[in-house]
Amino acid sequence: MPIDANARFRRFSRAVTREVGALDTSFLGRGRPLGAARVLNAIGRGRSDVAHLRDDLGLDSGLMSRLLRGLEEEGLVRTYTHPDDGRRRLATLTEEGEREFRAYEELSDAQATTILARYPHREALLAAMDLIAVALGRDRLSLQEVDPRGETARHCLGQYYAELAQRFEMGFDVARSRDPDARDMIRPRGAFIVALLDGLPLGCVGVKGTGGGLAEIKRLWVAPSARGLGISRQLMTAAEKAARDLSIRVLRLDTSSALPEAVQLYRKTGWTEIERFNDDPYPDVFFEKQL
């Protein structure tokens, strides 16, 4: 008889809370519970607006106030009124708070290394963690324009190229592809957009401009853990908006019949199939869209 789904979910929850020390009164041995440590961590990562901080962590106003007050009493955090908006409160770390933040970072990294080392199939475990993180955190997804030469973009593109190499019968060599110049995907010619969850990339898309009213959509990719959640559509919508902002009136793209999910997406979202418009050896399906 199959194990009940709710029982499996609750078993997982118990395992995680125990392993990460969620119930400890002194999380990672630093003298305060997990809730206070998470607030400290979020502030240390640049989330200074108290209202946004509360929403990001899913805390009610009363608990948020108590946690901040406790951190202030320890001399780790300073809160103050926004200089341009008296209704907003901001929080920042003190020098002692910065030291405590760094200590938590080192201990958290060490804990992660220890847990991962115990399991023989590290990548499979990380893939499962990615899937769960996306499933539970999808409402915190954000889209951001970045430099296509930066680390985040290069990570996405590397994953995209690796997947094409696996899925194409002939493999994939980016040197044989019509790889766009990075400058064509930076304003004012184009744009490069990434999907982020808690600062980690889940997908990307590029708008390769020509300096005129015609541009191409390039390098649409979504991480396997994030597929089926509509992120490709969000990225394409953002790419089309960026193109309109750049006064681009016609978009084109190429894809491959080896990627049927991509072909289906374009057909469902208003793209018209057209004749081949380049000599790239990999694509065999071509689309156009009037904006």
Residue 154 lies in a domain: yes
Share of the chain above pLDDT 70, in %: 99
Last residue of a domain, one of 70, 87, 118: 118
Task: Check whether residue 83 and residue 182 sit in a common domain.
Answer: no
Residue 166 lies in a domain: yes
| 193: three-class secondary structure by DSSP | strand
pLDDT in tens, 129-153: 999 999 999 989 999 999 999 999 9
Residue 134 lies in a domain: no
pLDDT in tens, 179-229: 778 899 999 999 999 999 998 999 999 999 988 999 999 999 999 999 999
Task: Check whether residue 102 and residue 213 sit in a common domain.
Answer: no
Long-range contacts (CB closer than 8 Å, 24 or more residues apart) made by 95-98: 97/40, 97/43, 97/44, 97/71, 98/44
Partners of 218 in the β-ladder:
206
pTM of the model: 0.86
Residue 16 lies in a domain: yes
Assess whether pLDDT exceeds 80 at residue 178: no
Q: What is the CATH number of the domain that holds 181?
A: 3.40.630.30
Residue 31 lies in a domain: yes
Q: What is the CATH number of the domain that holds 63?
A: 1.10.10.10
Return the pLDDT at 177: 77
Task: Check whether residue 154 and residue 94 sit in a common domain.
Answer: no
Say how far apart CA 238 and CA 193 lie, in whole Å.
8
What sign does the CA torsion over 192, 197, 200, 203 have?
A: negative
- Strand-pair category, 85-93 with 250-255: unpaired
Structure tokens, 53:
């901080």
Task: Check whether residue 65 and residue 207 sit in a common domain.
Answer: no
Task: Check whether residue 113 and residue 148 sit in a common domain.
Answer: no
Q: How many domains does the chain have?
A: 2
Task: Check whether residue 188 and residue 90 sit in a common domain.
Answer: no
Task: Kindly report the backbone phi and psi dihedral angles of residue 200, in degrees, each rounded to the nearest multiple of 5, phi listed first.
Answer: -105, 140
Say how far apart CA 207 and CA 190 lie, in whole Å.
5
Task: Check whether residue 149 and residue 274 sit in a common domain.
Answer: yes
| Of 187, 223, 237, 222, nearest in space to 208 by CA | 187
Task: Check whether residue 253 and residue 160 sit in a common domain.
Answer: yes
**Quick one: which H or E segment has residue 136?**
helix 122-137
Residue 184 lies in a domain: yes
Edge to edge, the sheet with strand 214-222 lists: 142-145, 191-197, 200-209, 214-222, 250-255, 285-290, 272-274
Return the pLDDT at 1: 62
Residue 123 lies in a domain: no
CB count in 10 Å sphere of residue 23: 10
Task: Check whether residue 83 and residue 159 sit in a common domain.
Answer: no
Task: Check whether residue 71 and residue 10 sit in a common domain.
Answer: yes
Residue 50 lies in a domain: yes
pLDDT in tens, 91-121: 999 999 999 999 999 999 999 999 999 999 9
User: Contact 263/285 with Cβ under 8 angstroms?
Assistant: yes
pLDDT in tens, 17-64: 999 889 899 999 999 999 999 999 999 999 999 999 999 899 999 999
Task: Check whether residue 158 and residue 77 sit in a common domain.
Answer: no
- Structural domain span for residue 72: 5-118
Task: Check whether residue 154 and residue 91 sit in a common domain.
Answer: no
